[in-house]
Homo-oligomer: A and B are copies of this chain.
Amino acid sequence: MSASDPSLVRTAAELDEADPLAGFRNEFVHSETEADLIYLDGNSLGRPARQSLEAARALLDQQWPSRLIRGWNEGWFEIPQRIGNRIAELLGASSGEVVLADATSVCLYKAAVAALGARPDRTRIITDDQNFPSDIQVLRAAARTVGPDHEVVVVPTDGIHASLDGVRDALAGDAGDGPALLALSQVSYRSGWCWDMAEATAVAHEAGALVLWDLCHSVGAVPIDLTAANVDLAVGCTYKYLNGGPGSPAFIYVSSGLPQMVNPIVGWYGSDDPMGFDFDAGPALDASRFLTGTPPVLSSSPVGPAVELMLEAGIDRLRAKSVAMTERFIALVDEHLVPLGFEVRSPRDFQRRGSHVSLSHPEAQAVGQALLHEESVVPDFRPPDFLRFGFAPIYLRFADVDEAVARIMRVVEGGGIDRWRDAAPIVP
- A129 CB → nearest B CB, Å: 8
Given contact pairs A33-B66, A103-B292, A134-B267, A71 touches B428 in the complex (Cβ within 8 A): no
Say yes or no: A102 contacts B106, CB within 8 Å. yes
- A392 CB → nearest B CB, Å: 11
- A224 CB → nearest B CB, Å: 21
Specify the chain B residue showing the minimal Cβ separation from A63. Answer: B246
Given contact pairs A60-B56, A68-B45, A277 touches B137 in the complex (Cβ within 8 A): no
A145: B residues at CB distance < 8 A: 113, 145-146, 264
Q: Give how many copies assemble into the complex.
A: 2
Per-residue B-contact encoding for A156-187, CB less than 8 Å = 1, 0 else: 00000000000000000000000000000000
Q: How far is the CA of A423 from the CA of B161 in the complex (A)?
A: 59
Q: How far is the CA of A279 from the CA of B132 in the complex (A)?
A: 8
Q: How far is the CA of A106 from the CA of B60 in the complex (A)?
A: 26
User: Does residue A406 face the partner (Cβ distance < 8 Å to B)?
Assistant: no
A300: B residues at CB distance < 8 A: 247
Say which residue of B41, B64, B144, B274 sits within 8 Å of A245 (CB atoms).
B64
- A1 CB → nearest B CB, Å: 29
Q: How far is the CA of A406 from the CA of B419 in the complex (A)?
A: 72
Say yes or no: B53 contacts A247, CB within 8 Å. no
Say which residue of B70, B250, B275, B294 sits within 8 Å of A293 (CB atoms).
B250
A301: B residues at CB distance < 8 A: 298
Say yes or no: B427 contacts A275, CB within 8 Å. yes
Q: Which of A269-313 contact B (CB under 8 A)?
A: 269, 271, 274-279, 281, 292-302
User: Does residue A191 face the partner (Cβ distance < 8 Å to B)?
Assistant: no
Say yes or no: A274 contacts B428, CB within 8 Å. yes
User: Does residue A22 face the partner (Cβ distance < 8 Å to B)?
Assistant: no
User: Does residue A29 face the partner (Cβ distance < 8 Å to B)?
Assistant: yes
User: Does residue A65 face the partner (Cβ distance < 8 Å to B)?
Assistant: yes
Could you say which of A195-203, A205-213, A377-385 contacts chain B?
A377-385
Q: Which residues of A contact B (CB under 8 A)?
A: 29-31, 33-34, 39, 41, 44-45, 47-48, 53, 56-57, 59-61, 64-66, 68-73, 76-77, 102-106, 109, 113, 129, 132-134, 136-138, 140-141, 144-146, 154, 237, 239, 245-250, 263-269, 271, 274-279, 281, 292-302, 372, 378, 380, 382-383, 424-428
- Give me 7 A-to-B residue pairs in the complex whose CB atoms sit less than 8 angstroms apart, sorted by A's number: A53-B60, A53-B61, A103-B292, A134-B293, A145-B264, A247-B300, A277-B383
